[in-house]
Structure 1
Amino acid sequence: MAVESRPAQQSLVQAGAQLLQNALAPLHKEEPPAPQPAMGFFTDTSICIGCKACEVACRQWNQLPAPDPTWSGSSYDNTRQLGATTWRHVQFIEKIERRKPVSEETSAPSLPLFNNLEGASSPIADPPPGTALPFFNTERWLMHSDVCKHCANAPCLEACPTGAIIRTEFDTVYVQQDICNGCGYCVVACPFGVIARDEKGDHTAHKCTLCYDRLKEGIEPACAKACPTDSIIFGEVDQLKKQARERLGILHERGVKEARLYGADDAILEGGLNSFFLLLDEPEVYNLPRNPERPARNVAPASFLTIAAAAILSLLGIFIFKE
């Protein structure tokens, strides 16, 4: 009888093992994808023409709704800012200096075009050789295609309590929509005002994914693909930083001394940005913080102060109740 019952026992063991495997199937974790070189953007604002092709391409590929076509009062910028449904934002920054009045008695501006209609020579002189192009003069438009910076030490990732924000194999910062609970901690943690909750939609956080679905297929992001002047360059971060420094040197040689790189070094957020910029003015002009802070650095001091305050209040309570 023992020999006859052995197959039955084996079948029972196999059935039990199969049931256990089925029960643990939801907890099975797939092997993580192989790490890839860190990918990012180098945005050269000196050759941005403000065509908004990157904005349109981003919306089309990611199926993001377009904003209402209303005048914002900020030049030709009707997008206003980055948000849950705006992952690329082209800024139009007008840099026009006010002219001095003709005399102390009147504040009317001088109009040489109309004052010299009687045959007088034009007061406009030819620029001396070697001067910068008019685009780089004091009266100009600064155009800047803003996007998520995909920080090397991302404050939004550090603040997320659910693990919804992760780093992909391309070292980009990605929000998993099925895990995000819409708490908004990442929104207040981001020093650039990039990530936001979709208050009219699913009430979860959204931002640029650096076209993660395209990266997995070996295709460059939609915004970089659509840029007609190659103002947005996509590639490996190390190569982009080398290219950015070479471009900065060229502009300095051509007399554009105000050109500077933003986020290409490790000074910002203790690790730098994987999406960095070449600017033609101070960072504050582009609504970029000069020295953004990581909220995680305030955790230890705040915790110490909280513990100290609790200890002081406890001692005071003990003395009060003793009396």
Structure 2
Amino acid sequence: MGFFTDTSVCIGCKACEVACKEWNAIPEDGLEFTGMSYDNTQGLGADTWRHVAFIEQDKPMGNAESGVDHAGAPGAASGAASGNGGATDMRWLMASDVCKHCTHAACLDVCPTGSLFRTEFGTVVVQEDICNGCGYCIPACPYGVIDQRKGDGRAWKCTMCYDRLGVGLEPACAKACPTDSIQYGPLDELRERAAMRVEQLHDIGVEDARLYGHDPDDGVGGDGAFFLLLDEPEVYGLPPDPVVTTRDLPSIWKHTGVAAAALLGGIAAVFTVHGRGGGGR
């Protein structure tokens, strides 16, 4: 199971952020002016499990030249009207970000207590009651999602509302989204739906539409939460080619084992030589 977030229909209402906080009893944050358009939370963290970005671009909408109106891609909100009644060249890219619930999750590899685990739904969850606050999972995440809460020390992130899934309910953010920008369901079905949506956008002239995190053959084995974007991933603060940060661990341990065996063999040889020498005297 997973999320498909279609940013082309995100209206930036932040209903997902509010629903996430209310259901999961997450502490408030984002009450300060950031200077980042209407983005009051800036990024994912221990107290922000859903983050709606407002990205202002001095760029026309992708379908402006084709004569298709704003309804074709409402997520790329056009700018204010100019003096002659036409739209300006400014657009907003709005996108609701979340933990990617990687297929190959490095955070699981490094957690020493088993606090992080893979659920029966294929999602990745932190059990805060057994997290020891070591913080190993934080640099391990290729997306910079996991964070430690101030004054607490433990790691926190999106659970995809694991408690709701267990009783047959969809995650709170998807339930609250008024435009179905956030869709929850079986990943195979979501990937098919996403591919059709991209094709639809291309047909109406939105050539920049592309999927991110949908490919099971990518560097993390595909994301359990993937996105339809209207620009390059870097514009949204996403890494263009994420990889499992622990991918080299098997070879590292192998080389470490070989080196340790060689070291122990050398020490044993030294003691053997010295032992023989002592017996001769």
Q: TM-score, normalised by structure 2?
A: 0.81
- Give 3-state SS (helix, strand or coil) of 1:291's partner: coil
5+ long unaligned stretches in structure 1: 1-38, 98-126, 319-323
Q: Are 1:236 and 2:186 matched, yes or no?
A: yes
Q: Which amino acid aligns with 1:131?
A: G
CA distance in 2, matches of 1:219, 1:211: 9
Tell me the equivalent position of 2:235: 285
- Structure 1 pair 305–168 and aligned structure 2 pair: CA distance change class (3 A): closer
**For the residues of structure 2 that align with 1:174 and 1:304, how far apart are their CA atoms?**
29
- Counterpart of 2:69 (choices 129, 133, 136) is 133
Q: CA deviation at 1:159?
A: 1.5
Q: 1:237 to 1:204 in 2, by over 3 A?
A: same
Q: Compute the displacement of 1:56 (Å).
A: 0.4
Question: C-alpha displacement at 1:132, in angstroms?
Answer: 4.0
The alignment of Structure 1 onto Structure 2 pairs a total of residues equal to 247
Q: 1:256 aligns with which of 173, 197, 206?
A: 206
Q: Who wins on radius of gyration, i.e. which is larger?
A: 1
**1:159 equivalenced with 2:110 (yes/no):** yes
Letter in 2 for 1:83: G
Q: CA separation in 2, counterparts of 1:217 and 1:304?
A: 43
Secondary structure at the aligned position of 1:295 is classed as coil
Alignment check: 8 A CA contact 2:135 2:155 kept:
yes
Partner of 1:65: 27
Displacement after TM superposition at 1:290 (Å): 1.0
Please tell me whether the aligned partners of residues 260 and 280 of structure 1 are also in contact (alpha carbons under 8 angstroms).
yes
Q: Is 1:265 aligned to 2:227, yes or no?
A: no
Q: Tell me the equivalent position of 1:214.
A: 164
Partner Cα separation in structure 2 for residue 247 and residue 197 of structure 1: 36
CA contact (8 A) 2:3 2:185 kept: yes
Residue identity matched to 2:101: H
Answer 1 or 2: which has greater helix percent: 1
For residue 186 of structure 1, what is the aligned residue in structure 2? Answer: 137
Alpha-carbon separation, structure 2, partners of 1:229 and 1:215: 21
Deviation at 1:186, TM superposition (A): 0.6
Residue 195 (str. 1) matches residue 139 (str. 2): no
RMSD, matched Cα: 2.4
SS state at 2:11 partner: coil
1:53 alignment partner in structure 2: 15
Q: Distance in 2 between matches of 1:270 and 1:194?
A: 14
In structure 2, how many angstroms separate the alpha carbons of the residues matched to 1:92 and 1:262? 18
Q: Give the drift of 1:308.
A: 8.2
Q: Is the 8 A contact 2:77 2:93 kept in 1?
A: no
Partner of 2:85: none
> Following TM superposition, by how much is the alpha carbon of 1:267 offset from its aligned partner in structure 2, in angstroms?
3.1
Q: 1:158 to 1:251 in 2, by over 3 A?
A: same
2:28 matches 1:92 = no
- Among all aligned residue pairs of Structure 1 and Structure 2, give the percentage whose two residues are the same amino acid: 57
In 2, are the aligned partners of 1:132 and 1:256 still within 8 Å (CA)?
no
1:79 corresponds to: 41
Q: Which runs of 5+ in 2 are unaligned?
A: 71-75, 79-88, 271-281
1:41 aligns with 2:3: yes
Deviation at 1:41, TM superposition (A): 0.6
Equivalent residue runs for 1:167-186 within 5 Å = 167-186=118-137
Q: 1:268/1:199 Cα in 2 relative to 1: closer, same or farther (>3 Å)?
A: farther
Distance of aligned partners of 1:89 and 1:136 in 2 relative to their CA distance in 1, 3 Å threshold = closer
Runs of 4 or more, structure 1, over 2 Å off, are: 130-139, 267-270, 300-312
